[in-house]
Amino acid sequence: MKTEVLLKEMGLELPNAPTPVGSYIPVQICGNIAYLSGQTSRINGVRRYVGKVGAEISEEEAYLSSRDACLNCLAALKVAIGDLDKVKKTVKLVGFVNSAPGFNQQPKAINGASDLLHKLYGENGKHARSAVGVAELPFNASVELEMVIELAD
C-alpha cells in the first residue's frame, strides 16, 4: 500500500478502474509483464480535458490529462494484480496526444504521466517512452496512454 500512500501525500487518489468502451480487456498479463490498454483522463466516468492540445486544451492541461490517464492505468492495474506495490519497473509508456495543427510539444504533455511514475516508483518508475501527435482520439480525449509494466515475482 506504499504506492497509494504516496499518491495520497501528493493529493491524488486512484479513481475507479475505467470500464472498457470496446471489445478489449484493460490489462493483459504474460508471465511477469503487464500490458495496459489505452486509457484517457476520464475519471470515474467524467471526461476531462477534452479537445485538441494547442487549441482547446493548453499544454498545462495536457500535462494534467496525461497524469490522470496514468492514474486510470494504475487503477486498472490494481484490479488485475491487487496491489500496486507489486510493480517492479515501468518498462514502456506510449502517449498519444490529440494535437492541433502546429502543436509539437507532445513530450511535455506526456511528462504528466512520466513525472507521476517517477515520483511513485523512483528509478524503477523511469521508462522508455514515445510521445506521438495524432489527428484524433476516441471521444475527443486530449491524451491516451498505454503502458508496459514488469511485475515482481
Burial string for 52-61 (b: 16+ CB within 10 Å, else e) reads bbbeebeeeb
Mean pLDDT, the chain cut into blocks of 10 residues (153 residues total): 93 95 96 98 94 98 98 98 97 98 98 98 98 97 98 93
Number of domains in the chain: 1
Residue range of the domain that includes 124: 2-151
CB 112 within 8 A of CB 95: no
Torsion, Cα of 119, 142, 15, 5 (10° steps): 10
The pLDDT value recorded for residue 34 is 98
Report helix, strand or coil for 149.
strand
The pLDDT value recorded for residue 153 is 86
CATH label of the domain that carries residue 132: 3.30.1330.40
The pLDDT value recorded for residue 21 is 87
Indicate yes or no: pTM above 0.85. Answer: yes
What integer best gives the mean pLDDT of the chain?
97
The pLDDT value recorded for residue 111 is 98
- CA 153 to chain CA centroid, nearest Å: 23
